[in-house]
């Protein structure tokens, strides 16, 4: 039997508000992380992020090896010396979730604007 250490974070999914976001996404969650927040973490650590809307949990659960999660944090835009991680659901494909690489407005989901985290 193998045991894994998992750090669990809980968050809320919000309906996107601005018009440009509504063209691309339906819901989003965000969290702030310090740069290199997981430096020194055990390499076998996993980070789980459980998110839901107000009305019910619909299976939105992310599990990342800490090394992958650290890379995602570093890919998120900086805001006041912290990385602001937005994970949003594609409005055109409810199975697709992306990490936004840009905090400013954009008009398409591309490799430059987002990282697919659906898997």
Check: pTM over 0.75? Answer yes or no: yes
pLDDT in tens, 47-104: 998 888 777 766 678 899 999 999 999 999 998 899 999 999 999 998 899 999 998 8
DSSP state letters, 47-116: EEEEEE-SS---S-EEEEEHHHHHHHHHHSPEETTEEEEEEEEETT-TT-EEEES-SS--SS--TTTEEE
């Amino acid at each position: 039997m193998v045991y894994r250490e998992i750090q669990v974070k809980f968050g809320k999914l919000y309906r996107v508000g601005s018009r440009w976001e509504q063209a691309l996404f339906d819901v989003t969650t965000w969290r702030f992380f310090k740069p290199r927040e997981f430096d020194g973490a055990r390499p076998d650590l996993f980070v789980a992020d459980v998110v839901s809307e107000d009305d019910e949990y619909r299976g939105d659960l992310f599990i990342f090896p800490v090394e992958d999660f650290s890379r995602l944090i570093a890919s998120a835009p900086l805001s006041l010396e912290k990385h602001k991680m937005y994970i949003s659901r594609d409005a055109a494909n409810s199975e697709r979730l992306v990490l936004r690489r840009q905090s400013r407005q954009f008009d398409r989901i591309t490799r430059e604007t987002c990282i697919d985290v659906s898997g």
